């Protein structure tokens, strides 16, 4: 019989997400719960919208957090912009491009797949070939920051290609929002979604989305009803639309939205450009340590995310054993490889509040100790010193 409360251990989260949560965000969650139609809560909702617009670098009126994780943000964009029988071009260079394909097909649409190797960014030339071969395609979709491989694609170029061929563009920014440059208005992104638990350093459970006027026009002119009642943006905007009057849609996760508000305030205080620069800075230190150890990255430097580092596992080393020892001996979580990279790579996250010198040095020291103790073929004792040299210590 369970008779006591659950008290989780204190971990350092350096996997693909969730990431370490800022104590300010955890404190915000503990504040008194009020009604989701309370005038004070409605006022906070307006602030959340404005803060999300800042993080996304957009003025899109249709900017809001979906009350579910990032996968629901993906589904929200797909089911609102596509109708049964439509054709969409999906770029797949990892797990989450594959999930976008699944969403397209489950919406009763045809998915044209543009494949790139895992660990590579989306090839604009392949996308253009697909656009030429499918002039009836309604939209393209791609992952800006592929969490399964650590690859960063050129969103600006890919979106422009879509528009050159009269297509909408859906961008998966689950791991990119807050970590690398993402300029929704400047790049004219039509629909974008993210997650609260990555570089925003909030708790899991919310998916910020933003759609521009072009995308909203497509939604308004639909000839069929959106297949998902919960994700129908025509209905959701009755609750998240401007003004004090709100139409009840669902019971919003009140305290989780407090947390998102605080997380976005933290980003606004730091400055979004400073947040991008911080992630890049700590990545350089981690990279120096990883390379000094003799390990290699999955992605080439020009295609590599700073906040999600896929590192090749040394020959003869058992993936699960290393991660288990890191967790039990150092309270450190790093991620396993997915799909084609399962058992071949670790995914080391440097996201949001967790992108810090303390975490970089802790991770490198722990990896050095565990791999060295296992007799792995690495340069023992070099990693931390290499990172400290980047920091100027």
Give the domain extent around 366.
Answer: 272-391
> Same domain for 144 and 133?
yes
60 contacts 212 by C-beta, under 8 angstroms: yes
Number of compact structural domains in the chain: 2
Q: What is the pLDDT of residue 242?
A: 66
Average pLDDT, the chain: 96
Q: How far apart are CA 17 and CA 203, in angstroms?
A: 10
Shared domain for 89 and 130, answered yes or no, is yes
Q: Are residues 31 and 168 in the same domain?
A: yes
Decide if 368 is inside a domain.
yes
Choosing from 269, 294, 317, the residue where a domain stops is 269
Confidence at residue 238, expressed as pLDDT on a 0 to 100 scale = 80
Mean local confidence (pLDDT), 297-310 = 97
Gap between the Cα atoms of 350 and 43, Å rounded:
33
Which of 240, 269, 298 is a domain's end point? Answer: 269
pLDDT at 243 over 70: no
pLDDT of 329 over the 70 cut: yes
Q: How far apart are CA 393 and CA 391, in angstroms?
A: 6
pLDDT of residue 237: 82
Residues 237 and 301 in one domain: no
198 in a structural domain: yes
Per-residue pLDDT for 1 more than 80? no
What digits encode the pLDDT tens for the residues 58-79? Answer: 999 999 999 999 999 999 999 9
The pLDDT tens digits for 159-185 are 999 999 999 999 999 999 999 999 999
CA distance 34 to 188: 37
* Helices and strands (H and E) in the chain: how many: 13, 14
pLDDT of residue 256: 97
pLDDT of residue 180: 98
Q: Per-residue pLDDT for 244 more than 80?
A: no
CATH number at residue 278: 3.90.1150.10
Residue 112 placed within a domain: yes
Say if strands 332-333 and 12-13 run parallel, antiparallel, or are unpaired: parallel
CA–CA separation, 333 and 147 (whole Å): 16
Q: Is the pLDDT of residue 281 over 70?
A: yes
Residue 132 reports pLDDT greater than 90: yes
Residues 382 and 341 occupy one common structural domain: yes
Same domain, 192 and 48: yes
Chain centre distance of CA 117: 20
Residue 393 pLDDT > 80, yes or no? no
Please tell me whether residues 36 and 101 are part of one structural domain.
Answer: yes
Mind listing the pLDDT tens digit for each residue in 93-129? 999 999 999 999 999 999 999 999 999 999 999 999 9
What does the angle CA 174 – CA 44 – CA 214 come to, to the nearest 5 degrees? 50
User: Are 115 and 227 in a shared domain?
Assistant: yes
| Residue 13, in any domain of the structure | no
Given 253, 269, 285, the domain boundary residue is 269
CATH number for position 124:
3.40.640.10
Q: What percent of the chain has pLDDT over 90?
A: 93
Assess if residue 352 is contained within a domain: yes
pLDDT in tens, 24-54: 999 999 999 999 989 999 999 999 999 999 9
Q: What is the pTM of this model?
A: 0.96
Q: Are 131 and 277 in a shared domain?
A: no
Shared domain for 253 and 299, answered yes or no, is: no
């Amino acid at each position: 019989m369970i008779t006591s409360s659950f008290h989780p251990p204190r971990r350092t989260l350096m996997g693909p997400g969730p990431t370490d949560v800022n104590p300010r965000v955890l404190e915000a969650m503990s504040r008194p719960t009020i009604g989701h139609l309370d005038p004070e809560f409605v006022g906070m909702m307006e602030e959340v919208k404005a803060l999300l617009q800042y993080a996304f670098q957009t003025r899109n009126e249709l900017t809001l957090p979906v009350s579910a994780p990032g996968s629901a943000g993906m589904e929200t964009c797909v089911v609102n912009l596509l109708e049964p029988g439509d054709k969409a071009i999906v770029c797949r260079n990892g797990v989450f491009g594959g999930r976008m394909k699944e969403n397209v097909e489950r919406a009763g649409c045809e998915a044209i797949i543009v494949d790139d190797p895992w660990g590579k960014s989306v090839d604009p030339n392949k996308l253009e070939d697909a656009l030429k071969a499918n002039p009836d395609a309604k939209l393209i979709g791609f992952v800006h920051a592929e969490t399964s491989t650590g690859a960063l694609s050129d969103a600006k170029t890919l979106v422009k290609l879509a528009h050159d061929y009269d297509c909408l563009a859906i961008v998966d920014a689950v791991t990119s929002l807050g970590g690398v440059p993402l300029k929704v208005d400047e790049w004219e992104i039509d629909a974008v979604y993210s997650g609260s638990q990555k570089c925003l350093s909030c708790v899991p459970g919310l998916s910020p989305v933003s759609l521009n006027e072009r995308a909203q026009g497509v939604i308004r002119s639909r000839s069929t009803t959106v297949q998902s009642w919960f994700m129908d943006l025509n209905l959701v905007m009755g609750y998240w639309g401007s003004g004090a009057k709100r139409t009840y849609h669902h019971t919003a996760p009140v305290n989780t939205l407090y947390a998102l508000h605080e997380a976005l305030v933290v980003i606004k205080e730091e400055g979004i450009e400073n947040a991008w620069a911080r992630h890049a800075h700590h990545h350089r230190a981690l990279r120096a340590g990883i390379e000094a150890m003799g390990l290699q990255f999955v992605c080439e430097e020009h295609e590599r995310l700073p906040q999600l580092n896929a590192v090749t596992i040394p020959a003869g080393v058992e993936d699960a054993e290393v991660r288990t020892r890191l967790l039990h001996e150092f309270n450190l979580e790093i991620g396993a490889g997915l799909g084609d990279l399962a058992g071949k790579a670790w995914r080391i996250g440097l996201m949001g509040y967790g992108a810090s010198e303390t975490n970089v040095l802790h991770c490198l020291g722990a990896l050095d100790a565990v791999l060295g103790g296992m007799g792995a073929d690495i340069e023992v004792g070099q990693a931390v010193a290499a990172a400290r040299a980047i920091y100027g210590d």
